[in-house]
Amino acid sequence: MSSLRSLYASDGVQIGGNMDVDYVVHYKVSNDKAEAAAGFTQLIEALTRVGLATEVRYGDSDSLLVFVKVASEKHLTNHIYRERVQDWLYGVRITTPNKDLAKEFADQPVTEAERLRTVYLLITKHKSEGCAGIAPKVGLWKDVESIFPLHDLAFNRRWIQQWSTKYFLDDKDLDQIRDKFGESVAFYFAFMQSYFAFLIFPAAFGFGAWLILGQYSLFYSIVSSLWSIVFFEWWRKKEVDLAVQWGVRGVSRIQRPRVQFKWDHEAVDPVTGEAVKVYPPMKRLQTQLLQIPFAFGCLAILGALYVFCFSIEIFLTEIYNGPFKAYLTFAPTIILSGLLPALSTILSSFAEKLTDMENYKTTDTHHSALVRKLFIINFITSYTPLFLSAFVYMPFGNLLVPYLDVFKMTAEKFSSEESITTQGFQINPGRLKSQMIYFTVTAQVVNFALETVVPYVKRKAFDEVKKVQYKGKSSADIDVPEEHEFLERVRHEALLDTYDVTVDYREMVVQFGYLSLFSSVWPLTPLCFFINNWVELRSDAVKIAVTSKRPIPWRDDSIGPWLDALGFLTWVGSLVSSAIVYLFGGDSNGPGGDPSNIATSGLLLSILLSEHVYLAAQFAVRYALKQMDSPGLQKEKAERFAIRKQVLEESLGPEAIEKPLPPTPQVGEKITRESLEEQARQISMNGGGTPEKLFWLRQQGMDETIQMGQRLIVQATESGN
Amino acid sequence: MSSLRSLYASDGVQIGGNMDVDYVVHYKVSNDKAEAAAGFTQLIEALTRVGLATEVRYGDSDSLLVFVKVASEKHLTNHIYRERVQDWLYGVRITTPNKDLAKEFADQPVTEAERLRTVYLLITKHKSEGCAGIAPKVGLWKDVESIFPLHDLAFNRRWIQQWSTKYFLDDKDLDQIRDKFGESVAFYFAFMQSYFAFLIFPAAFGFGAWLILGQYSLFYSIVSSLWSIVFFEWWRKKEVDLAVQWGVRGVSRIQRPRVQFKWDHEAVDPVTGEAVKVYPPMKRLQTQLLQIPFAFGCLAILGALYVFCFSIEIFLTEIYNGPFKAYLTFAPTIILSGLLPALSTILSSFAEKLTDMENYKTTDTHHSALVRKLFIINFITSYTPLFLSAFVYMPFGNLLVPYLDVFKMTAEKFSSEESITTQGFQINPGRLKSQMIYFTVTAQVVNFALETVVPYVKRKAFDEVKKVQYKGKSSADIDVPEEHEFLERVRHEALLDTYDVTVDYREMVVQFGYLSLFSSVWPLTPLCFFINNWVELRSDAVKIAVTSKRPIPWRDDSIGPWLDALGFLTWVGSLVSSAIVYLFGGDSNGPGGDPSNIATSGLLLSILLSEHVYLAAQFAVRYALKQMDSPGLQKEKAERFAIRKQVLEESLGPEAIEKPLPPTPQVGEKITRESLEEQARQISMNGGGTPEKLFWLRQQGMDETIQMGQRLIVQATESGN
């Protein structure tokens, strides 16, 4: 592991810099020489036109590396400043950008993430926005394989070293990630860190429950559900807070238009007053309704596969006793691991097509819609085996097994021997638990291996093949010696995978689902996840630093659609875990083999009850959390208030906020009622005096009113007696 | 009906003005003369000190009328301006108040509601805020009976005349209400109007269902539930829109501190930086938990009363056949109508105490908390009879009736005759329907009478008593003749009830509950409510104009806690109506007399299903509505955007938003690779040149990069072949 080793190299070793390169464009040379040359010329012209300097180097036998950096720092700061102004216009940023550019950038220095994001946008955004409009692999730019920034090796080394020696990450660590890789990646690590910290409680409690309460414990299940609610609601709040602290709240609304968006007509944007491209939301809604048949389709297809494999498995392991049993028991696993990825891929690409049809305007909404569909597929593939065991095999096993004779008959048909021996069917009460252990331990370890080891091995093998293929001219011959090491590194990075944070979120959300839905089956689940996630957090860091290209530092203001997925899992968890506890918990402590043993109404009642307890608890937790201070939101409000106050004082002067002073009260001379009425009469005789004027003239000033009132009080009390 | 008649007087008749009076303070003269005089002096001094002019007149035998108007219009506009600045500071108002006061008030003239609200605040807000701090009936001001504005008779007449001749109210009508009575009242009428318009559909559909489907129809019930969801979600959106249009969005956050608030300590407000009084929210949360036992307590007490009366009623009407049956059947009604109001009052005052203990900081949060508790009481008192009939009497009647023998035995004990004859018990299948008809028709008519006729009669009788009591000195002797008519009118208004919009909301929300929970029992329900609400809308207007004091024109940004109540009723409706349809609908079409006939699991399943269908439908409707344009919110966003843009252009100049121009690209001379490397070597030999500098010097300008790239392309394709 050359690059992994480099991370752990002793501090003395010099680590190569990035030659001030902002981005590398990996340009594939197509077979048509002339076309390749023309495309290349266009690429360089487009980049130069927006103020980027370029250098080209030999990539490998069929690609070039175009190095890009900003030609003039002033030009870049102008762009960044414009982005900041945009943020402010759309309400993402609260404080007005300073008029004085130098002061603005002194107050809020440009982070590496901000710089790289701006340059990336400069390269990829549409020409009409004054950018180069280079979209990798699309249309005119089909030969542009990828556009990626270079890893900061010194930082990566420090990062991995630091994280592998500490238990908890703090805000400083997250800020570091944010400055290097953008808020999108930082949000993932913030979520992971929170989830990891929150897991301490169920890990400890689960361990206790495992020792004392055993499985299917009602008490464990209630505590675990409550924990899910608290965690979910807490994160919902924390997420907003982080977005405010990082100055990205609301950024998902204004971000990145989708290149593939098709519009129906143009209209005036009611907010900005500019002409915008519109696709009628009702038309989109109609397409979105297709999600319902899609979900049922996924359930039918994947469900059928699972039921089929499940039936074979039951038949082979627990009924069949004939020849080749030892080998045949692997059959369902082989079928499943062969067909499941294929089916998942087909359904995922179908989900992508569906999302394309929904025709979203921004990449963020598109991505959310896609994630929602992928979540459906993941939900079904991840939890169906456990659902089948818990709600079909365990309660109805005895009833359904006779139907499995169809396999026996099939087997007999193909078998030359007459007799397929079968053994009597016994429901295996440990099945659910062993499945759960498989998902919490084995699967996580396998996943870890798939995530870290496999990409490395793949890369290594690929490199070897390349070396063997082109023995003739090596890059060392072509490169200038001083640059060779650097260029070799870039060539290596160009071939790494693109980091996709969605994959990591998906893994964690699926894990959270096991916890929320089935952890009462095996209370050690949270402990295993706790240990796994300590490793996961670090291995994800290694994945970014070593086995992936450096990610484009996108901004984000939340974990997006995954939040809904978490909320959904918490909810379903309240239903499923209560059903499991009702079915298998209690005194009997074993699974009821016969369906008549199970009072359906009892089951339904327990589900109904637990769901409403869940909703009430959620309401209460949400309310309680709302009462607590939220530093980020408070900061935001305070800033907003301060700015308004400042604007006010600047434009109106400080006295605008002061209390107005009342006019000094008139003090009248001593009067009698008669003199007053006399006065009024005089006014009326003099021709002036509307009734209103007269009314208000009877008592002039405070003292007269008081005198008059006191006289009336005396009268009133007299007549009252 | 003197004043009602005045509303309908022909246009020629002169209607008296209000003598420019802003507010009338109704001051009770206590028995202690000296105390009364001192208190009066304080009152006038306090009013004068904040710039208000006063006139005092004889009220009745033991009260004075103090007329208040703003002494200087300039002083008032200063106050109003300050309020507007406050609104802006807290984000309620979007556009900055104009520096030039004259221009500000020309652009946004002061409405009557704004004027009256400001004057009222000037009278009642705390001294520390530069106001008079007069709190009616509290502490120092216990003799201040009420502070109220005078009705605008000309407006009232036009209003009632207009409304009684049109079917639908439009936005202009609502704006009128808003300008006169404030947003709080306007929101009630806006809600009523929307609800009324929405009722057209279920009224027509219900009528059709009544003709074709009959009662307990599944189809009707589904459509009705969907309608409730759509109405609720639509209003949730509309409400925000109205608040934005009326410029009151967020006003509930900053409004009216509560005088009774007790604080624990002072702390710095994180937003404004001012010192504020703090009561720890966690301490409040603990008190709020008392709501749970409170709700159960209400249920137990009111439930017990209902069960008791219900049992007696069943016994007397359907079992008992002895003497006095005709009279005895009234017993439960008498008991109920005697005890229920008393119990409700006790529980309500308990709810008030509980809310006081929760110690809210603003009147709005206090009011919301109180409404939530009152809603619990209302929910129980309104729907328990129907719940008992539907879920106890109808399914379990036969089982429970034997227990009613306790009444028979009691009756035998007290009766001298030996034999109390009873008849065989038969469940009355029409009971639920006839109860429903009672609640939708009879009760609404009774309510109408209570709301409009009774206060008038009460008032009239009270007036007569007064006249008889004080034959000696009438007000006509004391008053100046020109003022007599006006003063008599003020005396009349001073004794009217205070209008409380909460009462009207409660009535409508309870009505909505009947619709949502039980309308499948009698599909004509929505039609009845539709007719009723046309009258209700007008009678509420009459109530405000004739039988109540003119309300203080408070602002509000929503229907507040009633929205939650509506949402709750929609939800419970999905549960209850599915249960009713399952129990009584279907082919049998009669109530199942025997509990064994009812498959409990089927009932539970139908509830579970319908609840989840409800939640899914709500999610879908909410999503669909979110896609639609919201004129108010759009206006708000557009304003915000325009202001930001304006600020930007003012401070930075228009070029800040323009796209920055890239620097002109360098055009290099024609080069060969050798010459370039030569150049680089020279630089490095000259001692300059970090590796970075050298890297970027190899190709100078765009053309060199293109040349180099093209050469590499040729090489690549060569080696590739």
- Which residue in the block uniquely carries the two structure tokens 């404030």? B182
Q: Which pair of tokens denotes residue B392? A: 């106890």
Taking CA atoms, A163 is separated from A156, A166, A527, B332, B675, in Å, by: 11, 5, 21, 75, 48
Name the band, by pLDDT with cuts 50, 70 and 90, for residue B11: very low
Q: What is the mean pLDDT of chain A?
A: 82
Helix axes B218-245, B631-652, angle to 10 degrees: 30
Range with lowest mean pLDDT among A388-397, B144-153, B406-415: B406-415
Average the pLDDT over B588-610 and give the result. 66
Which of A466, A473, A713, A721 is best to mutate for the B interface (most B CBs within 10 A)?
A: A713
Going from the C-alpha of B510 to that of each of A216, A339, B229, B230, B574, the distances in angstroms are 43, 57, 16, 18, 16
Burial class (CB in 10 A: 0-12, 13-18, 19+), A240: middle
pLDDT at A11 over 50: no
**pLDDT of A348 strictly over 70:** yes
Quick: pLDDT tens for A448-491: 887 777 777 877 787 777 666 655 556 677 778 888 888 888 88
Ordered DSSP codes for A204-246: HHHHHHHHHT-SS-HHHHHHHHHHHHHHHHHHHHHHHHHHHHT
Does residue B104 register a pLDDT over 70? Answer: yes
Per-residue model confidence (pLDDT) at position A346: 92
Query: What residue spans of B359-480 are helical by DSSP H?
Result: 363-388, 394-400, 405-414, 431-437, 443-469, 475-478
Structure tokens at A422: 């079968």
- The predicted structure's pLDDT at residue A203: 93
Name the percent of chain A in helix, strand, coil, to the closest 5.
Answer: 70, 5, 25
Tokens 């007459």 sit at which residue?
A418
Helix (H, G, I), strand (E, B) or coil at A81: helix
Q: β-pairing, B144-148 with B23-28?
A: antiparallel
H/E run at residue A59: strand A52-60
- The answer to whether the Cβ–Cβ distance between B659 and A82 falls below 8 Å is yes
Split at pLDDT 50, 70, 90, the class of B424 is low
Q: Is B62 an 8 Å CB contact of chain A?
A: yes
Which residues 6+ apart lie within 8 Å of B68 measured at CB? B21, B22, B23, B24, B25, B47, B52, B53, B54, B119, B123
Q: What is the pLDDT of residues A479-515, one digit of tens each?
A: 788 888 888 888 888 888 899 999 899 999 999 999 9
Q: Does any CB of chain A come closer than 8 Å to the CB of residue B82? A: yes
A666-680, B33-47, B519-533: the lowest-pLDDT one: A666-680
Q: Mark yes or no for CB contact A662/B473 under 8 Å.
A: no
- Beta-carbon contacts of B102 under 8 Å, excluding residues fewer than 6 positions away, are none
Residues of B with Cβ-Cβ distance to A29 under 8 angstroms: 713, 716-717, 720
B481 contact A CB<8A: no
Q: Quote the pLDDT of residue B551.
A: 93
What is the reported pLDDT for B371?
92
Chain segment B427-478, per-residue pLDDT in tens = 777 888 888 888 888 888 887 887 777 777 877 787 777 666 655 556 677 7
Q: What's residue B414's pLDDT?
A: 63
Query: Which of B15, B49, B50, B55 to mutate against chain A (most A CBs within 10 Å)?
Result: B55
Q: What is the pLDDT of residues A269-295, one digit of tens each?
A: 777 777 788 888 888 888 888 989 999
User: Looking at beta carbons, which residues of chain A come within 8 Å of B718?
Assistant: none
Question: At CA B156, angle to CA B153 and CA B159, rounded to 5?
Answer: 150
In B, minimum Cα distance to A692 occurs at B19
- How large is the C-alpha radius of gyration of chain A? 36
Measure the CA–CA gap between B383 and B521, rounded to whole angstroms.
13
Residue B291's φ and ψ, nearest 5 degrees, are -60, -30
Is B284 part of the contact surface with chain A (CB cutoff 8 Å)? yes
Pick the closest to residue A373 from A348, A340, A345, A341 (CA basis).
Answer: A348
Q: Which chain A residues are closer than 8 Å to B48 by Cβ?
A: 665, 701-702
CA distance B396 to B406: 18
When pLDDT is averaged across residues A251-272 and rounded to a whole number, the result is 79
Minimum CA–CA partner of B43 in chain A: A706
pLDDT of residue B684: 58
Residues 25-54 of A with CB under 8 A from B: 29, 31, 33, 36-37, 40-41, 44-45, 48-51, 53-54
SS3 B372: helix
How confident is the model at residue B591, as a pLDDT? 44
Is B691 touching A (CB cutoff 8 A)? yes
Report the interhelical angle of B525-542 vs B171-212 (nearest 10°).
160
What pTM was computed for the model?
Answer: 0.86
Mapped onto helix, strand or coil, the DSSP state of residue B336 is helix
Inter-residue contact B690 to A444 (CB < 8 Å): no
Across the interface, whether the CB atoms of A712 and B45 are under 8 A apart is answered no
Give the tens place of pLDDT for each residue, B660-684: 555 554 444 444 555 556 665 666 5
In this prediction, residues B282-297 reach a mean pLDDT of: 89
Please state, in angstroms and as integers, the Cα–Cα distance from residue B381 to each residue in A125, A280, B442, following that order: 63, 47, 16
Q: Do B33 and A714 touch (CB under 8 A)?
A: yes
Q: Give the integer Cα–Cα distance in Å for A670 and B148.
A: 30
Average pLDDT of the segment spanning A315-328: 74
Tokens of B575: 């549960």
The pLDDT of residue A13: 44
Confidence of residue B119 (pLDDT cuts 50, 70, 90): very high
Phi/psi at A67 (nearest 5 deg)?
A: -95, 135
pLDDT at residue A679, rounded to an integer: 60
More confident residue, A557 or B721: A557
Q: Tell me, what's the pLDDT at B197?
A: 93
Chain A contact for B464 (CB, 8 A cutoff)? no
Lowest pLDDT segment from A107-116, A314-323, B125-134, B669-678: B669-678
**One-letter amino acid identity for A252?**
S
List the beta strands (DSSP E) in B239-289: 265-268, 275-278
What pLDDT sits at residue A255? Answer: 66
What is the rounded CA–CA span in Å between residue B623 and residue B613?
Answer: 15
Q: What is the pLDDT of residues A33-58, one digit of tens each?
A: 888 888 889 899 888 888 888 888 88
A49's tokens: 């036109």
Helix, coil or strand: residue A20? coil
CB A362 within 8 A of CB A280: no
| Mean pLDDT (chain B, rounded) | 82
Minimal CA separation from B501 to chain A, in Å? 27
Please give the distance of CA B418 from its chain centroid, rounded to a whole number.
58
Does the pLDDT of residue A165 top 50, yes or no? Answer: yes
pLDDT digits 0-9 by tens, B346-404:
999 999 999 999 988 888 889 989 999 999 999 998 898 889 888 888 888 777 777 77
pLDDT of the residue at A654: 58
Residue B656 has what DSSP assignment?
G
pLDDT at B594: 43
pLDDT of residue A182: 92
Query: What confidence tier does B185 reach under pLDDT thresholds 50, 70, 90?
Result: very high
Q: Shortest CB distance from B89 goes to which of A48, A79, A641?
A: A641
Of A178, A258, A257, A236, the residue nearest A555 (C-alpha)? A178
**Phi and psi, residue A38, nearest 5°:** -65, -45
With cut-offs at 50, 70 and 90, classify the pLDDT of residue A200: very high
